[in-house]
Amino acid sequence: MKFGLFACNMGPCADPNVAARVARAAEAAGFESLWVGEHVVLPDPQAPPSPLPPLSVMLDPTVALAFLAAHTTKVRLGTGIIILPQRNPLVLAKELASLDVLSGGRLIFGIGIGYLQPEFAALGVPFENKGARSEEYLGAMLALWTMEKPHFEGRFVSFSKIQARPQPAQKPHPPIVFGGHTPAAYSRAARLAEGWYGFALDVERTKAAIAGVHAACEREGRRFEELEISVTPVPERDRLLLDRDTAERFASLGVNRLIIYAPRAREEPSLLTLIDEAATTLIGKV
């Protein structure tokens, strides 16, 4: 089992000095990866399904990961997730390729299609066809990242006779992970990615989601074992960290990576305590 740490661009880690110390501590403790989330804007006032109060600070994911890369040496750097249909795919391809180069090939590109309609409206991005647009944007990005003479012809984006360097340090490209808990998300993971990411799931919901990923792989002629399964467990009510037995139950379902999120760790000391507890009770033991 691999262990990642979520929210490295928000909460206490919105402070750059705290983020640097937390990143170094996590790497030293044996965490395999650091993960950041994304919402460009948040609805004000907060209303379901918005996940955060409107004044929550969330650093841009590519900027935050570049900063964390400079303060670490080997821990992987994951976007969990970037809302792809809200982005210009050529600009994002440049940003992520640059991040992969600057980090020495440590990027994991986690993708979501988004679910907050007010966020799309504020950005002037259509909420309709966001799934199809995401798949096309990813294809365009892969063309830039992998082709000697990049070209792409699609419904939402087209280009030819251009270059966009650097290409990523990882070849053919950084690993791609699709997030989401719907049949469409499972299908995208099976068809287009190296992994699937489920956020805020308990063991039973993870079991159901993995069954969905299995079914999608069967439909697409893909071996389930080719996908890396990552899950952020739903936070424990009375603990900062999930217990070892629960972690082992996730592992028995086929989860390869647990990305830990403790929203109650609102200050640096509690976050560092969580990291220490993970090193003692989970890392290397599950």
Does the pTM surpass 0.85? The reply is: yes
pLDDT at position 55 over 90: yes
> What average pLDDT does this structure show over 247-261?
97
Contacts of 87 (CB under 8 A, 6+ apart): 137
pLDDT at position 227 over 90: yes
CB 43 within 8 A of CB 119: yes
CB 118 within 8 A of CB 40: no
Where do runs of H (alpha helix) occur along 75-229? 89-102, 117-123, 130-146, 183-192, 203-220
Q: What percent of the chain has pLDDT over 70?
A: 100
Per-position DSSP letters for 41-97, written without gaps between them = ---SS--TT--S-TT--B--HHHHHHHHHHT-SS-EEEES-EEGGGS-HHHHHHHHH
Binned at pLDDT 50, 70 and 90, residue 235 comes out as confident
Backbone angles phi, psi at 217, to 5 degrees: -65, -40
Contacts of 261 (CB under 8 A, 6+ apart): 6, 7, 200, 232, 233, 235
pLDDT at position 119 over 90: yes
Token pair, residue 182, equals 């719907």
H/E stretch holding 26: helix 16-29
Token pair, residue 14, equals 């919105």
Could you read off the pLDDT of 144-199 as tens digits, one per residue? Answer: 999 999 999 999 999 999 999 999 999 999 999 999 999 999 999 999 999 999 99
Binned at pLDDT 50, 70 and 90, residue 208 comes out as very high
Q: What percent of the chain has pLDDT over 90?
A: 98
pLDDT at position 239 over 90: no
Q: pLDDT at position 282, please?
A: 97
pLDDT at position 245 over 90: yes
Residue 125 CA, distance from chain mean position? 21
Backbone angles phi, psi at 4, to 5 degrees: -115, 165
Which residue, among 95, 115, 259, has the nearest Cα to 164 in the 3D structure?
Answer: 95
By DSSP bridging, strand 107-112 and strand 176-179 are: parallel
CA dihedral 237→180→32→272, nearest 10 degrees, is -30
Binned at pLDDT 50, 70 and 90, residue 37 comes out as very high
Q: pLDDT at position 74, please?
A: 98
Q: pLDDT at position 204, please?
A: 97
Q: pLDDT at position 236, please?
A: 81
Give the residue carrying structure tokens 């792409």.
Answer: 152
195 three-class SS = strand
Report the C-alpha gap between 154 and 276 in whole angstroms.
48
pLDDT at position 237 over 90: no
Q: pLDDT at position 238, please?
A: 77
Mean pLDDT estimate for the chain: 97
Going along the chain from its start, the domains and CATH numbers come out as: 2-281 (3.20.20.30)
